[in-house]
Amino acid sequence: MDATQMSFPDQEFDFVVDKGTLDALLCGSGRELSFLREISRVTKENGKLIVISHGSPSMRQQLFAQLEQNHSIKYCKQQLSESAQMINAIRSQLKDKPMMAIFEDMHALQNVLSESNQNKQ
């Protein structure tokens, strides 16, 4: 089902969770507002929408401000696990290369380990 044109009736859900769809649409599709409008349409008037995102709250707040509906928004930041921090550090070093490529680039691996140690302090 297309998340920007769902077949659900208006105000169908008390509770909606998005994990990653908004982030994916923000990577260049230009359909993020259509998605948020659709989520807003299928969520009941006093319903809850949970958006799990790597994006900054200020950026998400700008998106929600463009909706016609008035939403009460609360942001909670969760600390990433050490493993998730390590994976993010590896990805930042590798750009578009496969994860295993980190073992072929000792300089990049040293950078990841250094960044990981700094995050622990």
User: Residue 51: beta bridge partners?
Assistant: 18
Does the pLDDT value for residue 32 go beyond 90? Answer: no
Structure tokens at 36: 């948020």
CA gap 80, 11 in Å, rounded = 33
CA distance from start to end of the chain? 44
pTM of this structure: 0.61
Q: Where do the structural domains in the chain lie, given as residue ranges?
A: 1-78, 82-120
Give the model confidence (pLDDT) of 33-86 as tens digits. 899 889 888 998 888 888 888 777 777 888 888 877 666 666 676 777 788 778
Give the model confidence (pLDDT) of 75-107 as tens digits. 676 777 788 778 878 877 777 788 888 888 888
Beta strand segments in 21-119, E: 43-52
